[in-house]
């Protein structure tokens, strides 16, 4: 069983302005990126599920040369609004870190 | 076509965070054309724009500014600072100008200073709204005449043109209100004939200072040497290095789209950009595209007062309380609402009482997928926002006392359920604002709302 963080150099969330959140997931190698894409676990649908974003507002980018996946969603609550808990948006990635990638092959080694 | 190169120095990613003096000196004494620095952002939330306060200690900003001005004046190159005082409103700009004038006085420096105002008068904004010049971005809060008049402050994010006017008028030091980070760095190179796709992409890489190096141990400077084809990014600090990966991935940071960067008047497209290592510390960037727009728009930012906040923090360790925490807090809320209504005469619709339960879902709130996983203790942040500070404090005092002794069925007699680490348990956190605009304003003149004043110091 492999978790997402075992395949990555960086998993982060951050404001892209006060109204959007962006997630950058940078992989250690192409094999890890491929394994995650193949698993289908990290998808636009997952971001709808986790963060309540409407599917048509999820921007999902695969940046193969950078070994990265980037996802941008509308902020569940605008930065600094009364119900916001994270002004910089820096901890929204928490639930992604230990995401189980359903792959039996060892993808941590290139 | 000009063959001249333009070398830009970004002092750091944010003026208040600083940089190494040696790095700036090394860069500025190596044939540079200007020093730029961004001093603000919306990243820290709506408070700064709303309140008119600058972020960070004045002494720190003064120290950092003095190094930038000293090096710029010595090298006889312009210094350009954008988004003064963190939010770039009128009080922020004045705060920064006071620092600059004070430095000039204390150091016997003489230079021509340009100040560019970016605060938008509400009446002008109402007129622009009625003229159909204001368009929402997605997502955006509702902006109408009532919201505009009720808001605290609006700023427009200037593009390169107001900076270029200041430089054209002979300013050696330019202090801008709210500005596109990229515009700070693109303005002068464009005046000197550097193509837009080069100047804007270099600006994007420079805007966070040394953030686009491989391992940024501390905030520091970055340089970019631009020519007709592209630019070369290199940190002046020998302990840092730019790599293809670090420079290429910087366009991702705080940017919703990895390839497209919208600026006033057009968009930078980096989908075909090539990154090439010049050596083990410098990266050459070519092949970006600039896509001009038909319309010239500037982004609007606004902040409105929501109320005044008082907060308290309490630990809860009793397992019997923890196992019924939700019902306990709901029950407690009902008792509090009744007390506030009875003793202060305020109804629950007139203030906001919220708890953040750290140790359970304080960070993600309702989105927390593991909120059933409660630990052996939780931290309870009690948050009151009310129309006046006195009322917020008054309600907080009721919450603290009521919560402390609120019973559970398993314990008989008077219990004390909240472990307050401080006396008094709570504190006043001051005015609370919200961002009330995410819109663009179509301008017929890019200089339109950005008034400039010049003074010779």
Element (H, E) at B300: strand B297-316
Looking at residue B209, what is its pLDDT?
A: 94
CB B100 within 8 A of CB B69: yes
Position B151 pLDDT exceeds 60: yes
CB B116 within 8 A of CB B174: yes
Looking at residue B370, what is its pLDDT?
A: 94
Please indicate whether, in this complex, the C-beta atoms of A63 and B46 are within 8 angstroms of each other. Answer: no
Looking at residue A102, what is its pLDDT?
A: 74
Looking at residue B343, what is its pLDDT?
A: 94
Looking at residue B272, what is its pLDDT?
A: 94
Structure confidence by residue, pLDDT tens digits, B100-120: 999 999 999 999 999 999 999
Between chain A and chain B, the number of residue pairs with CB atoms below 8 A apart is 106
When scoring A81, A86, A91, A98 by the number of chain B Cβ atoms within 10 A, the one with the most, hence best to mutate, is A81
Rounded distance between C-alpha atoms, residue B260 and residue A62, angstroms: 14
Q: Is A97 on the interface with B (CB under 8 A)?
A: no
Q: How many residues does chain B have?
A: 457
Position A106 pLDDT exceeds 60: no
Q: Is A93 on the interface with B (CB under 8 A)?
A: no
Rounded distance between C-alpha atoms, residue B126 and residue B85, angstroms: 26
Under the banding of pLDDT at 50, 70 and 90, the label for residue A104 is: low
A-chain residues near B354 (CB < 8 A): 82-83
Q: How many residues does chain A have?
A: 110
Looking at residue B389, what is its pLDDT?
A: 98
Query: In a 3-state reduction of DSSP, which class is residue B109?
Result: coil
φ/ψ of residue B160, rounded to 5: -75, -25
Structure confidence by residue, pLDDT tens digits, A2-46: 999 999 999 999 999 999 999 999 999 999 999 999 999 999 999
Rounded distance between C-alpha atoms, residue B81 and residue B96, angstroms: 10
Looking at residue A110, what is its pLDDT?
A: 44
A-chain residues near B47 (CB < 8 A): 80
Q: Is A17 on the interface with B (CB under 8 A)?
A: yes
Cα distances from B327 to residues B357, B406, B407, in angstroms, run 13, 12, 12
Mean of per-residue pLDDT scores for chain B? 96
Structure confidence by residue, pLDDT tens digits, B378-423: 999 999 999 999 999 999 999 999 999 999 999 998 889 999 999 9
Number of CB atoms found within 10 A of residue A46's CB: 17
Q: Specify the range with the lowest mean pLDDT, choosing from A99-103, B11-15, B18-22.
A: A99-103
Tracing tokens 């009902």 back to the chain, one arrives at B334
Indicate whether this model's pTM tops 0.90: yes
A-chain residues near B253 (CB < 8 A): 14, 24
Cα distances from B80 to residues A13, B9, B101, B232, in angstroms, run 30, 10, 15, 20
Structure confidence by residue, pLDDT tens digits, B76-103: 999 999 999 999 999 999 999 999 999 9
Q: What is the ipTM of this complex?
A: 0.92
Position B2 pLDDT exceeds 80: no
Please indicate whether, in this complex, the C-beta atoms of A79 and B435 are within 8 angstroms of each other. Answer: yes
Structure confidence by residue, pLDDT tens digits, B194-212: 999 999 999 999 999 999 9
Chain A residue with CA closest to B49: the answer is: A80
A-chain residues near B258 (CB < 8 A): 61, 63, 66, 68, 70
Q: Residue ranges of the alpha helices (H) in B277-385?
A: 319-322, 325-339
Average pLDDT estimate for B139-156: 97
B-chain residues near A80 (CB < 8 A): 45-47, 433-435
Under the banding of pLDDT at 50, 70 and 90, the label for residue B215 is: confident
Looking at residue A108, what is its pLDDT?
A: 52
> Residue B387: which of B309, B304, B307, B310 has the closest Cα?
B307
Rounded distance between C-alpha atoms, residue B148 and residue B159, angstroms: 23
Average pLDDT estimate for B228-233: 98
pLDDT > 90 in chain B, percent: 94
Partner-chain residue, chosen from A16, A68, A81, that has the shortest CB–CB distance to B254: A16
Looking at residue B216, what is its pLDDT?
A: 87
């Amino acid at each position: 069983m492999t978790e997402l963080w075992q395949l990555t150099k960086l998993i982060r969330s951050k404001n892209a302005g006060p109204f959007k959140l962006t997630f950058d997931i940078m992989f250690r190698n192409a094999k890890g990126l491929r394994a995650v894409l193949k698993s289908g676990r990290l998808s636009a649908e997952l971001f709808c599920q986790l963060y309540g974003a409407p599917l048509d507002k999820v921007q999902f980018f695969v940046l193969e040369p950078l070994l990265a996946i980037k996802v941008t969603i509308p902020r569940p609550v605008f930065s600094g609004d009364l119900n916001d808990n994270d002004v910089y948006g820096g901890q929204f990635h928490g639930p992604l870190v230990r995401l189980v990638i359903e792959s039996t092959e060892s993808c941590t080694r290139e | 076509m000009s063959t001249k190169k333009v070398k830009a120095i970004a002092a750091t990613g944010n003026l208040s965070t600083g940089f190494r003096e040696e790095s700036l000196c090394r860069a500025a004494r190596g044939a540079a054309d200007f020093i730029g620095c961004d001093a603000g952002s919306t990243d820290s939330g709506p408070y700064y724009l709303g309140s008119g306060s600058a972020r960070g200690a004045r002494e720190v900003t003064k120290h950092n500014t003095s190094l930038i001005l000293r090096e710029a004046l010595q090298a006889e190159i312009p210094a350009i600072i954008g988004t003064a005082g963190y939010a770039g409103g009128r009080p922020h700009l004045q705060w920064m100008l006071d620092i600059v004038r004070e430095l000039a006085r204390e150091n016997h420096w003489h230079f021509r200073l340009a100040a560019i105002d970016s605060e938008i008068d509400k009446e002008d904004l109402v007129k622009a709204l009625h003229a159909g010049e204001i368009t929402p971005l997605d997502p955006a809060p509702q902006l109408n005449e009532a919201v505009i008049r009720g808001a605290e402050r609006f700023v427009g994010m200037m593009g390169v043109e107001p900076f270029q006017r200041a430089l054209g008028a002979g300013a050696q030091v330019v202090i801008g209100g709210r500005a596109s980070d990229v515009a700070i760095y693109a303005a002068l190179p464009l005046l000197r004939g550097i193509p837009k796709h080069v100047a804007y992409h270099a600006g994007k890489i420079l805007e966070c200072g040394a953030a686009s190096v491989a391992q940024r141990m501390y905030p520091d400077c970055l340089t970019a040497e631009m020519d007709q084809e592209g630019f070369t990014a290199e940190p002046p600090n020998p302990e840092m290095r730019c790599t293809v990966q670090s420079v290429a991935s910087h366009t991702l940071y705080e940017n919703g789209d990895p390839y497209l960067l919208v600026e006033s008047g057009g968009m930078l497209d980096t989908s075909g950009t090539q990154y090439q290592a010049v050596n083990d510390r410098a990266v050459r960037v070519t092949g970006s595209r600039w896509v001009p727009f038909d319309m010239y728009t500037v982004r609007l930012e606004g902040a409105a007062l929501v109320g005044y906040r008082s907060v308290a923090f309490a630990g809860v360790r009793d397992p019997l309380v923890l196992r019924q925490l939700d019902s306990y807090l709901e029950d407690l809320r009902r008792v509090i609402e009744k007390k506030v209504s009875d003793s202060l005469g305020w109804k629950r619709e007139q203030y906001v009482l919220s708890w953040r339960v750290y140790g359970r879902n304080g960070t993600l709130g309702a989105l927390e997928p593991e909120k059933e996983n409660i630990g052996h203790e939780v931290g309870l942040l009690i948050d009151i926002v009310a129309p006046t500070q006195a009322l917020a404090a008054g309600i907080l005092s009721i919450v603290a006392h009521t919560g402390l002794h609120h019973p559970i069925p398993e314990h008989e007699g008077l219990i004390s359920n909240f472990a307050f680490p401080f006396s008094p348990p709570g504190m006043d956190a001051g005015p609370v604002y919200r961002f009330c605009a995410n819109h663009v304003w179509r301008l017929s003149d890019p200089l339109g709302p950005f008034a400039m004043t010049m003074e010779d110091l």
